Amino acid sequence: MPELVLRSLNVSRAIAVPINGQSVMTGIFKKPVSGPQAVKPLGVEGDEQADPSVHGGLSKAVYAYPLEHYPFWKTVRAQAKAAGWDDELAPGAMGENLSLSGLLESEVCVGDVLRFPDCELAVSEPRFPCFKFNAAMGFNQAAKLMGQNAWCGFYLAVRTPGTIEAGQQFELVPGPREVGIQELFRSKMSKLKNG
């Protein structure tokens, strides 16, 4: 298995943005932060979610996304001629708190634990994209593409609070290994699609 590294730690405050002609609150526009940050039961200090019915809470306190998928998103944004498509996608562009390298959704199961030097985060479920993801990516097919590829990232519950910092290595501690993140994502997406 490749080296597992937290490449960037990202947070945002909820802000109002225009989406489809309406002002909508969102916390999707995460920005990297440096130095150690507190991780508490409801997430990374300084981070907010705008819609707690969908994001956040104890089981979805932290969102992780593999940086390995970023080149794909840059390419499809360019093809869609999304605003700023020729700019690099900065870590946090997917709305993630943890920009990871070395760990893909296909390798993660519900109940696995990401063990950092000073905290532990338990994998709880995949992320399901909404219209705000389309707005963040700058084109209306982004959520659909995430659904097709199952490159969804995953939510984490805070098992052991502590601190976390960009650049840290972490260990994947296997849980029961019964339900894979991509398997769960595809199953739920199929149910939504087939109604």
Q: Looking at the DSSP assignment, which residues form a beta bridge with residue 64?
A: 98, 154
Residues 6+ apart with CB under 8 A from 185: 105, 126, 128, 150, 152
Looking at residue 52, what is its pLDDT?
Answer: 81
Looking at residue 114, what is its pLDDT?
Answer: 99
Domains of the chain (ranges; CATH) run 5-187 (2.40.33.20)
Confidence band, pLDDT 50/70/90 cuts, at residue 139: very high
Phi first, then psi: give them for residue 136, nearest 5 degrees. -65, -35
Q: State yes or no: pLDDT of 1 exceeds 80.
A: no
Q: Looking at the DSSP assignment, which residues form a beta bridge with residue 19?
A: 22
Residues 6+ apart with CB under 8 A from 179: 109, 110, 111
Chain Cα centroid distance, residue 67: 10
Cβ atoms of residues 110 and 59 within 8 Å = no
Looking at residue 195, what is its pLDDT?
Answer: 61
Take residue 113 and report the two structure tokens written for it: 């634990």
- Mean pLDDT for the chain overall: 95
Looking at residue 192, what is its pLDDT?
Answer: 76
Closest CA to 9 of 73, 124, 92, 123: 92
User: pLDDT tens across 42-91, in order?
Assistant: 999 999 998 887 888 999 999 999 999 999 999 999 999 998 888 889 99
User: pLDDT tens across 33-44, in order?
Assistant: 999 999 999 999
Predicted TM-score (pTM) of this structure: 0.95
Mean pLDDT of 128-139: 92
Mean pLDDT of 158-173: 99
Looking at residue 30, what is its pLDDT?
Answer: 97
Region for 20 from its dihedrals, namely left if φ exceeds 0, alpha if ψ lies in -120 to 50, beta otherwise = left
Q: State yes or no: pLDDT of 137 exceeds 80.
A: yes
Nearest-angstrom CA–CA distance, 182 and 122 = 16
User: pLDDT tens across 10-29, in order?
Assistant: 999 999 999 889 999 999 99
Cβ atoms of residues 31 and 92 within 8 Å = yes
Q: State yes or no: pLDDT of 140 exceeds 70.
A: yes
Helices 70-79 and 142-149 cross at an angle (nearest 10°) of 140
Where is 148: in which H helix or E strand? Answer: helix 142-149
Q: State yes or no: pLDDT of 120 exceeds 80.
A: yes
The percent of residues above 90 in pLDDT, for the chain, comes to: 85
Closest CA to 62 of 78, 83, 47: 47
